[in-house]
Amino acid sequence: MSITLEQVTKRYQGQPVVNDVSLEVAEGEFFVLLGPSGSGKSTLLRAIAGLVDIQHGGIALHGSDVTHVGVRERGVGFVFQNYALFRHLSIADNIEFALRVRRMKSADRRARRKELLKLVALEGMDDRLPSQLSGGQQQRVAVARALAHKPQVLLLDEPFGALDAKIREELRRTIRVVQRELGITTVLVTHDQEEAFALADRIGVMNLGRLLEVGEPHTLYARPATRFVATFLGAANLLLALQGPDGIRVGSTPVDATGRQAGPAAREHEVVAVLRPEEVELAADRDQLATRYVGRATVEEVQFTGALERLRLRLLDNLAAIQHGADPAEARIEATRTQPEQRALPLRPGDTVVLGARRLHVLPTPLSSFVVHADDDDTARALHADPVLATLAARMKTRVATRAGGDETAPQSAAPGVAVLATGADAPARVGQLLRAGANEVLLLTGRAELPRQLCIYWMDNAARGATLAVAASLLRHLPAEAICVSAAPAARRDARRAAALRALLDARSEARAAHALETRTELLAGEMPQALTDYLASLDTPLLVLGASNAAQATEMLEGILRKLPDVPVLLVYRETP
């Protein structure tokens, strides 16, 4: 492996900017770190170069640990967003800088410089000053300069950020050619997905300091695992679908979908499906639809963008399927059509069409939507406004429905999605009712103003482990918190239970990493549950407890024990009934 990152964490004033990132980049690979601004991608790149020190984790280049090695000794090539050329030096001196530092002979330096200038197609520019070159040319010089000392790793921080579209494309090609020619391991940071697709062998998508998914461009586009990647890489319509024993339904219509096939439970549950705009089929009526019918819609907006036509549609039926905003009536579907499609069925705003899905991809995320359960309007409003729920709903772009009190006593009435309750003395009892009625996840909110900084993950038995980790992983993609898996064992070293608990934690950590790309810490608490857990939670700053259970009675008992001591800790209960 050329670059190996092991649980790299960087905090600024206590807030993690890079959060437990582990990554391996192969020899000669072109790896692109993609993410919105503030996602921590540039910080991660600078940490690889050694320009930023990290608080936790390790960095290795070509097998040797460089975590505590200075920038100079790491010897990577680094290209800065604003070129950072030495303005007072000529192009020749800029390129020869690294060679001069290494006391190379002047004739050798010249030969190397000529070679590099040829590589970036800037022959004859030797004596110019950087200010006499265009932006694109300056960035070429920066690339040549970074390559002068033959580094084994080339790092580029948004190298095309300050350039206009045409020069960008040209420079992109140059960099790809140079990279292929030299076979140098390259990591490029960008917020532009088109750039990522054009350059990368593999892409890593970052958000809120976490590396969410890593994969080849087409895999990430066609089969994203997370909402964020689905919506950040290209446009995506997110639909709520129901997965039952006999397949996936969008509203009342069964559809074909890729992604998750076998559900964990026999009973029907809600899933999130991705419908790309180009996979939306539009027809005048149902009979002309070549694919599965999703619903009827009116055209709201038609935008001509050259090769493609972009449409915004409002669904007239099957409203339950849409989950863009909290209000289903506000939800829109985006579609794009090619020229032949436009000619076959010209559309104008106001027209009514039927809508089909050519290809639907179900996300493996366990959290689909939220349902607030409240006895009165005030409680409902308070729960809707709770920062945890509001943040999650906004970042997951999902729906928050409301259910009036009393309903959950009726059998089979637990609505799909995460049930949301206000914490309180009667909470454990109500949770019990919800679980019996078929709820899989229950979120207990306290109205605390801060978002959780730590996610404390604890499963009461191993049957619930997989689901608990999956839910925690999903949650962490939307909340910038640290993940800590806990278990408890008596303090005595010799105790066999201690070894077993430790092994279980390590297993869980590798499962979280392998199945959910989630990096976690582990904490083995001394003592007995639930006492050890309440003590530990009380020691944390602003925790949220993710509690996994497969026995409803035990779960409510545990909840009662924790809530009595710590009434202001929000809890997400993950319940998986053992068959």
Partner 1 sequence: MIRILLIGIALTFIGGLLFAPLAMVFVSGLEHGLGAWFHSFTDSDTGAAIRLTLLTAAIVVPLNTVFGICAAWCIAKFEFPGKSMLVTLIDLPLAVSPVVSGLIYVLMFGLQGWFGAWLQDHDISIIYAVPGIVLATMFVTFPYVARELIPLMQQMGNDEEEAAITLGAGGWFTFFHVTLPRIRWGLAYGVILCNARAMGEFGAVSVVSGHIRGLTNTMPLHIEILYQEYNYVGAFAVASLLSLLAVVTLIVKTMLEWRTGIRHH
Residues that bind partner 1 (CB under 8 A): 49, 51, 71-72, 75-78, 80, 82, 84-89, 97-98, 101-102, 145-146, 148-149
Q: How far is the CB of 55 from partner 1 (least distance, A)?
A: 17
Judged by beta carbon, residue 148 or residue 470, the one nearer partner 1 is 148
Residue 58, strand partner residues: 6
Q: What angle do CA 165, 166, 168 make, to 5 degrees?
A: 65
Q: How far is the CB of 335 from partner 1 (least distance, A)?
A: 44
Q: How far is the CB of 186 from partner 1 (least distance, A)?
A: 15
Q: How far is the CB of 101 from partner 1 (least distance, A)?
A: 5
Q: What angle do CA 128, 131, 137 make, to 5 degrees?
A: 75
User: Are residues 483 and 455 in contact, defined by beta-carbon separation less than 8 angstroms?
Assistant: yes
Residue 275 CA to residue 298 CA, distance in Å, equals 18
β pairing state of 361-363 and 400-404? unpaired
Judged by beta carbon, residue 101 or residue 266, the one nearer partner 1 is 101
Q: How far is CA 563 from CA 165, 214, 469, 482, 559, in A?
A: 56, 38, 22, 22, 6
User: Are residues 258 and 241 in contact, defined by beta-carbon separation less than 8 angstroms?
Assistant: no
Judged by beta carbon, residue 41 or residue 337, the one nearer partner 1 is 41
Q: How far is the CB of 209 from partner 1 (least distance, A)?
A: 22
Q: How far is the CB of 67 from partner 1 (least distance, A)?
A: 17
User: Are residues 382 and 449 in contact, defined by beta-carbon separation less than 8 angstroms?
Assistant: no
Distance of CA 380 to the CA centre of its chain: 29
Does residue 78 sit in helix, strand or coil? strand
Q: How far is the CB of 311 from partner 1 (least distance, A)?
A: 44
Torsions phi, psi for 411 (to 5 deg):
-65, 150
Residue 543, strand partner residues: 454
Judged by beta carbon, residue 93 or residue 170, the one nearer partner 1 is 93
Judged by beta carbon, residue 188 or residue 439, the one nearer partner 1 is 188
Judged by beta carbon, residue 88 or residue 118, the one nearer partner 1 is 88
From the list 145, 147, 170, 160, the residue with the least C-alpha distance to 32 is 160
Judged by beta carbon, residue 97 or residue 197, the one nearer partner 1 is 97
From the list 520, 521, 524, 523, the residue with the least C-alpha distance to 497 is 524
Judged by beta carbon, residue 106 or residue 554, the one nearer partner 1 is 106
Residue 402, strand partner residues: 372
| Tokens at 281, concatenated | 């089929």
What letter represents residue 454's amino acid? Q
Does residue 436 sit in helix, strand or coil? helix
Q: How far is the CB of 51 from partner 1 (least distance, A)?
A: 6
Euclidean distance between the first and final Cα of the chain, in Å? 43
Residue 367 CA to residue 526 CA, distance in Å, equals 32
Q: How far is the CB of 259 from partner 1 (least distance, A)?
A: 42
Judged by beta carbon, residue 72 or residue 494, the one nearer partner 1 is 72
Q: How far is the CB of 72 from partner 1 (least distance, A)?
A: 5
What letter represents residue 375's amino acid? D
Judged by beta carbon, residue 77 or residue 438, the one nearer partner 1 is 77
Q: How far is the CB of 23 from partner 1 (least distance, A)?
A: 20
Residue 383 CA to residue 326 CA, distance in Å, equals 14
Judged by beta carbon, residue 100 or residue 180, the one nearer partner 1 is 100
Judged by beta carbon, residue 11 or residue 310, the one nearer partner 1 is 11
From the list 207, 245, 247, the residue with the least C-alpha distance to 229 is 207
Q: How far is the CB of 145 from partner 1 (least distance, A)?
A: 7
User: Are residues 283 and 244 in contact, defined by beta-carbon separation less than 8 angstroms?
Assistant: no
Residue 122 CA to residue 144 CA, distance in Å, equals 10
Residue 322 DSSP label: B
Helices (H), 103-226: 106-119, 135-147, 165-182, 193-199, 217-222
